Structure 1
Amino acid sequence: MIEVNFTDEQLAVFDKLDFEVDPIELKGLFSKPSLNEYDLVYVLKVSNALYREGVEVINDDQYDLYISMLRDINHLNPYLNSVEPEVVSEAKTVQLPQRMLSTEKAYSLDDIKKWLKRILKAAQEINVSEDEINIRVTPKLDGYAAYDDGVTLYTRGDGYRGQNVTRAFDRGLKVAVGGQRGLGPGEIVIKKSYFNKVLKNQFENSRNIQAAIIAEKKVDENVQRAIDNGACVFYPFSILENRTAHFSEILSNFDSIIEELWDVLDFDIDGVVLETTHEAIKEHMGATRKNHRWQIAFKVNEDSADVEVLDVIPQTSRTGRISPVAELVPTKLSGATISRVTVHHYNMVKTKRIGRGAIVKIVRSGLVIPKIEKVLKESEPRIPEFCPSCDSHLIWESDHLICPNKSDCPAQTENTLIHFFKTLGNNDGFGPKVIEKLNNFGIKHIHEIYELKPHQFKIYGFGQKTSQNLSDQLKASREIQVEDWRFLSAFGVSRLGGGNCEKLLRHHSLTELFTLSVDEIVRIDGFAQVSAEAIVEGLNNIKKEFFKVYDLGFNLLVTAKESESIGVDSPISDALIVFTGSMLQGSRSDMEKHAKSLGAKVGKSVSTKTTFLVTGERVGASKINDAQKKGVRILTEREYLDLIG
């Protein structure tokens, strides 16, 4: 959550953008703890545009956090696989002499080690000896990316096309350290010492100056003076100070190398860039649409402050977890005013004693926007008993407080609907985007979706053909047979995943479950007191909605009762069977159902308790080897069918 107030300069940039920006809506999005995919792309596009124009609204770490959030939601989103445009100017774009890509980011030594494993794997694939693998480490300049071919200076643009800004050289811009023109990619930067001594009072940050150097309008006299004095330069990457060594030395001396390069230049840097120097490896690894695979940036940016907690406010997430949000005395940290920070969970609030008047140390580092690093002064915590969204009684689940009201909690409705259709698995039409659209029109319950008619879908903005398809899919969803345990699991009750649903239904019918007491559930093997209490409360919360959906007439396959399985006369009665590979007789799911009807138990992975591993086509050798080591009998599909007759 970030509080922003747009300046006149930022509002002026909005007018130049080629997509509509609503400052009030945008400000509200920055203050939200979580965003959907569409809003994340919107926030990222605007933030990038402001950054490129020298009037940033969030810093690099906050931007990277939003990138991480988007990747978690949809790693295939086009925004993640394209280079962020470098400038918002209205000038015409021109083809770059060479692609200019972004750099993959790393925030820990473990990230670097994973990247190096990919380098080593690529080397093995083309028979390059590890002795030949050297890594070049350079400072990561925090400037304005550009490309100089000796005649023209280009902005990076979208990585393929940029803009001609040769006017910067015409204004007197020089190449750093006396270098020559035509050295390819680099950054336009200004000396830190000059900025702090001469320009700090005129400009909020150096990014304003970097953008002004290439602007079409007349250059500010202060910026022109900085150019004339040699404080502003174009620094080609190829002539940067660097440390090049064998990859093993880079790893063993990583911290000292970072420290060595951090202050080697009188320019802002926000990390270091590592890349292999072996041309054959570079060519073999290639690039994504956004990054070179043979290169990575290690970013370090940490700031901290000791802050007083004004209050801890509970907020219900879309999954039902209650997130504690600490409201703080507004504090400036890494260029942003921080007034809120999310605490990990309520067990941390309780054990660390974070309440009104507590003093906490907050830090910002890497992908993390403000987090509590340490509690310096404890205070009495307040642990909520009821959900702030629906007033339901909260339950503990490990470290987290959970709202068990999946069907009627306003904060959870959209996620509950998505979970239902995803778990049911017999309806492809109702994915997250369709659910989000219906939810925005006030559809909050599962039964309400099933009651919709084609003309109502049209009212909600779906086309005529799509509306009919959605209606048809709902009808098919009720007619296509689905296991009763899967149907129950789709309601998202805490502690009631597919496995536990099936266990319960081996002893009681679907409708009987809602009358069970905690003691009756505890008597079933595999259920402890805490789980039973959560299940009873969860079932009570969904009871009304469940029967509204159940009464719509779903075609449910009833789970065989344990008493029915006992005494079943079959060669696999009481056996534990794992099916793997592609089956010819039917789907693996069908094979599993049939095995259960014959009194067998079905597992998903091989263990020492497994009786048979039944193999279809295209089975991995690792699963076969694992079964052999554990003494599990392996049957082909044909052998299994012969066994059961």
Structure 2
Amino acid sequence: MPSTIQQKIEALREELHQHNYNYYILDEPTISDFEFDVKLKELQDLELAHPEFHDANSPSWRVGGGVTKNFPTVQHQFRMYSLDNSYDFNDLEDWENRILKTIEDEQVEFVAELKYDGASISILYENGELKEAVTRGDGFQGDEITNNVRTISDVPLKLKGNFPDRFFIRGEIYLTKKNFDKINKSREEEGLDLFMNPRNTASGSLKMQDSAEVRKRGLSAVLYQYISDDFPAETHWDLLANAKKWGFKVSEDQAKLCKSLDEVKNFINYWDKERHNLPFEIDGIVLKVNSLKQQRQLGYTAKSPRWAMAYKFKAEKVETELLSVSYQVGRTGAITPVANLKPVLLAGTTVKRASLHNEDIIKKLDLHDGDFVYVEKGGEIIPKIVGVNLEKRTLLQQPIEYIKNCPECGTELVKLEDQAIHFCPNETHCPPQVVGKMIHYVSRKALNIENLGSETIEQLYREKLIENCADFYTLTKEQLLPLERMAEKSAQNIIDGVENSKQIPFEKVLYGIGIKHVGETVAKKLVKNFNTIEELRNASVEELCQVEDIGEKIAISITEFFKNSENLEMIERLKSYGVQLEKGENTNEVLSNALEGKTFLFTGKLSLFTREQAEEMVEKHGGKNISAVSKNLNYLVVGEKAGSKLKKAQDIGTIEILDEQQFLDLIER
């Protein structure tokens, strides 16, 4: 029987690998998304029932779920060099001349590829299976992020065809414009700060601790460089073709094999205009000598290959008129000045507004009413003013004076000495702040009340049905039904969602009520130390500062929150409606004192439990988790591929090093 189940699991895996290849690499799907999801669910159920047939490269790993708190540092077997940059064709001609001095009496071909704007990655494949994925880091070593890379659909978990036994493939992890906009729209609805550009967002996403959250970001990958001691081809162009056959998404379709530098220039000129029509961001063109033999002849400088060059596009800059400066109020009361511009076409889109960030930026630019300003797109995404055309300024124009009062409620603004931003202190009655706090309260990471989006909350506020988070619990279906675009089912879903939120644990509620500087992590640490909202309310600044990672700034913010009578009234109402404002019965249940007085740190890839489960075991048996290797550490528990923490512990010499099973044995003893 087990062999039959194993065969079924392996057959499903092979079929789903093929469907992924058809969809992501060939762009020729042969089944519907629904049919794929049904097969994937069947595989997941079988794998859950039969863990003995575990395979880290199963298609089920695409959905993520593994939690990684610390990413081990891994040495690159082959250094990841940076590229020299060029900004005009003269630079390219100089580069070609240097090449021809070394490569005599041979034709030199170039491969021109799009320079994707993302995060570099190096992936190891052994026997056709993804083994390890490491960030570029400093070029000599990087962070191992294999679980997160496994969730990216463009990266094959198993290869096809006739591939080498062991090699590295390098490429770029990036975000499409569509997925970047989708992420920012979601963050806007949750009252969070927007991400600045796809490149930084992609890079940050790769280091998220929960691989399921990485999956939700919708990252993409393009693989463009084969690395090994042995090469199964004589040219880079042929290696790209081979990589595509093995199952990699490569840049071949938007690359060109150029016989001369003139062909390279034509390729660059074409994409300098067409790049704005791409669904992803590029910041230039990468050029490589095609012949691998010639690459070896050319070699490397101290930091770059001599056989490759990056041509960087110039940031497009346009001139337009500054019509006015308006001011936006965020959830936390932060004021953001915005330049309203005469519409102008820039990098393929019409620009009407540009953030001015704060008063210091306005002063630095010396902005005047009616100035003609130069606008660029930072990272090809965010419009920003980079200068003023002083020749067009007249004596009648006056400097922009930063506002003194909130544009929404009229309250006098405040500016802290150590911050560049002005704030509106009227956090309980300034409309954007009030609405922003309620949007934050219902967000996924807080109370997770579905069907209550930002537009619905704004509408409820305008109709005077809600004024703070406690008012959600007094809403009735009869109040909701008259609202625009509100059907009976939608209204009932909101009522049910509000009711279900009463089961959300204390730490998420504490995060949701929106105390300034209290994020998810801080909320969890506070709940570990204070059993109820009353204990937290009565804590002094000194007592709060005793909590790990809580400094004076956060402590003062917490005590100020509880001094506000309206906040206290809201808390009392939430309690009366049944919202969880005290720790659950088993949250800090102590099972034994087996580890009392001992400190622990976990490193490497754990296989018997997740890091979160391990740290919970330490606490439930009387021990303490610490975040770094030092002389205060008693035990370092190591999983696979433990890196710098293990070496540091060995150097200290007094730290006991355990594997996972020894850690479990220690608890049992």
Higher relative contact order (CA 8 A, sep 6+): 2
Superposition TM-score tier, normalisation by shorter sequence: 0.3 to 0.5
